[in-house]
Amino acid sequence: MLIGILAIQGDFEAHARALDKLGVKYVFVRTPEDLQGVDGLILPGGESTTHMKLLAETGLEPAIRQMAANGGAFLGTCAGAILLAREVKSPEQNSLGLADMTVMRNAYGRQLSSDVLTLPTKLREAPLEMVFIRAPIIEKTGPRVEILAEREGKPVLVRQGKVMASTFHPELTSDTTIHEQFLKLACNNNKKP
Ligand code: GLN
């Protein structure tokens, strides 16, 4: 199995450390060619407007859409979750639309400090430590989206088929649960030839 980590902007190194811990092979993705042979792609946190601009400039946007059409797995964290959403608000911007959800950017106010909360998830019995940094809120989800965790009644971790999105940063804690779940999705990959 080979995992790609989108490495054009943001905290991609932290995801690499999580995969190192799990002993998984990965490649940093900066061009469409880097997606060759990749079973799953991680879209890291950072600044989603810059990400979208660079995805268009590098030709990665159509390449990622093609990877999704071929059955690839995706994990988007914070800005990465914004990229995956079907609709982005505050302000409106273009996105990949791989998950049927509407997100509102910077929805917890303009604070630069982070919130660290320990909340229950459907993934396991013990709650999970979640780091929120200028996080979006998932306002609305479609019927195919499974909600795996919530904060104040709003989803913070969701899954639709092979697409997982968290509005928090699992790569910034020592807990690898979210990455392990994503690897399971990538592992069951029946990519078209
Ligand atoms: N506020 C950023 C955005 O809207 C996301 C922040 C993050 O990824 N930590 O793109």
pLDDT, one tens digit per residue, over 160-179 is 999 999 999 999 999 999 99
Superfamily for domain range 2-187: Class I glutamine amidotransferase (GATase) domain (3.40.50.880)
- pLDDT given for residue 40 in this prediction: 98
Q: For 21-30, which contacts have Cβ atoms below 8 Å and span 24 or more sequence positions?
A: 21/176, 22/176, 22/179, 22/180, 22/183, 24/183, 25/1, 26/2, 27/2, 27/3, 28/4, 29/4, 29/5, 29/60, 30/58
For ligand 1, is residue 141 a contact (CB within 6 Å)? no
169 classed as catalytic: yes
- Does the beta carbon of 78 lie inside 6 Å of ligand 1? yes
Query: Among the atoms of ligand 1, which is closest to the Cα of residue 133?
Result: 9
CA 80 to ligand 1: nearest atom: 8
> What digits encode the pLDDT tens for the residues 101-113?
999 998 887 666 6
For ligand 1, atom 5, name the residue with the nearest CA.
79
What number is the average pLDDT over the span 110-129?
89
Of 15, 51, 61, 171, the catalytic one is 171
Percent of the chain with pLDDT over 90: 92
Confidence of residue 191 (pLDDT cuts 50, 70, 90): low
Report field, pTM of the whole predicted structure over 0.85: yes
